Amino acid sequence: MSRADVPAATSTSAAAAPLERVTEHGWRRGFANLLRKELAAWTRTRTGWVQVVVWIALLNGLLALPLVFMRDLFTTDLGGTFDAALDMFFNLSAMIPYAGVVILAQGAIIGERQLGTAAWVLSKPVSRSAFVLAKFVALALGMLVSAVAIPSLIAYGALSLEAGAPLDAVRFAAAVGIVALGLLWYLGLALMLGTLVQQRGVVLAVPLVSIVAGDLLIGAWSGLAELGPWMLGRLALVVADGGPLLSPWPLVSTALATLVFLAVALWRFGREEF
């Protein structure tokens, strides 16, 4: 799950994959080539497969506790193993992958600035906006597939077996989408911080504190529950379990904040001096 191997892998893949002639103009100039290079770090190296294995082991491995290994412990008069497993999966999915995407993204901007590769890439026919957006899209696709989609498909099958019938696929997919929105929020936050500061520790610390201390923050000010991703795991759980969406505002605010993070990142990186 470390980002350490990704820059080297990206450079190797970029050298191996021939770039195509730039046809975009304006803020999109060079975006396709940059995105192809960033995705190569996932598809042409071991990074993608390693991520898939790691997230299956973490999310589906922990899901096996109530379903297989510790059924008696999780069986209660209030719900049983199915409810315990469903609760565990969506609460963990709204925490562990969020931390993972922050770890992967913490060096995406800062690392390239420190190594000088950002200045080299930007000397080519590419825009600064394309540079940032390519990183966001590649990391989003990589994490959504490896840490959200694949573990969720496995969890859907396991939970359906436990329930004795297929779960409502539309509701389950909607719940997964709610969790995925939070992942994009943390990715946008990490990339924005990477354009604002020079210290990786800050880029890591701020989002991780948000993940770990989310409940404490909501306890201190209940209004925060409507203004960010801290309630998304609970909303997803209710939707997956057949209940109504308790409130649309956490979804709206999370989506809008993600766009704001990207806008700030594009604005700040556009004024970076190399």
Rounded CA separation 258/263 (Å): 9
| 205 vs 217, more confident | 205
Q: Please report the pLDDT score of residue 1 as a whole number.
A: 53
SS3 198: coil
Rounded CA separation 170/251 (Å): 18
Match 């936050």 to its residue by tokens: 189
Residue 25 has pLDDT above 70, yes or no: no
For the record, the structure tokens of 13 come out as: 């893949």
As a three-state string, the secondary structure of 54-69 is HHHHHHHHHHHHHHHH
Rounded CA separation 133/265 (Å): 9
Residue 2 has pLDDT above 80, yes or no: no
SS3 194: helix
The residues, any chain, with a CB within 8 Å of residue 262's CB and separated by 6 or more, are 132, 133, 136, 188, 191, 192
pTM, two decimal places:
0.86
How many domains, the chain?
A: 1
Range name among 23-37, 105-119, 130-144, 170-184 with the lowest pLDDT average: 23-37
Q: Please report the pLDDT score of residue 215 as a whole number.
A: 80
Residue 83 has pLDDT above 60, yes or no: yes
Rounded CA separation 147/73 (Å): 27
Rounded CA separation 89/62 (Å): 8
SS3 78: coil
Residue 144 has pLDDT above 90, yes or no: yes
Q: For residue 91, what are the domain limits?
A: 5-16+23-270
Residue 12 has pLDDT above 70, yes or no: no
